[in-house]
Amino acid sequence: IGSKPLQIWDKKVRNGHIKRITDNEIQSLVLEIVGTNVSTTYITCPADPKKTLGIKLPFLVMIIKNLKKYFTFEVQVLDDRNVRRRFRASNYQSTTRVKPFICTMPMRLDDGWNQIQFNLSDFTRRAYGTNYIETLRVQ
C-alpha cells in the first residue's frame, strides 16, 4: 500500500482536492484532503458501499493535522443488537447529540498534528447501552 495509500478507499472530490504532499513540519508524505464543504470532499473505506471492513478491534487511531478548517470524520459500527450505528466527530459542533442511529459530538484539535484515539467499544456502550461488535466503515 506504500505507493498507493488509497487503493482500498473511495475518493469523492467536489470543489477541493486529495493530494499526497510532503508536510514541512514532519518531513514526511501525508494525504491532504481539502474542500469547500466537508460533505463533498472525503475518502471512505471500504470503497464498495456494499462491503464492510469487518474489523473486530474496538480502537480507531488517526493522526490529523489541524488546517484551521472544518474537519469531521465518521465511523460506522455494528452492535450486539445487530444495529448499524454511526459516530461523527466534528471540530465545528459544540454539543453531543445521540439519536437512534447516529451520535454526533464535538472534537477539539490542537495546533499542528493531533493523534485522535477513539474507543469504539466505550462510545457504543455509553451512547446506546449496547456492545460493540465490529467496525463496518470509516469516512
State residue 24's pLDDT score: 92
Give the whole-angstrom CA distance, residue 119 versus residue 57: 10
**pLDDT value, residue 2:** 65
Quote the pTM value. 0.90
The residue to which cell 477541493 is assigned: 16
- pLDDT for position 19: 93
The H or E element containing residue 115 is: strand 112-119
Q: Which residues of the chain have pLDDT under 70?
A: 1-2
The H-or-E segment that residue 127 falls in is helix 120-128
Q: Choose among 109, 65, 67, 59: nearest CA to 87.
A: 59
Predicted pLDDT at 60 = 96
Using DSSP, state whether 53 is helix, strand or coil: coil
* pLDDT given for residue 3 in this prediction: 74
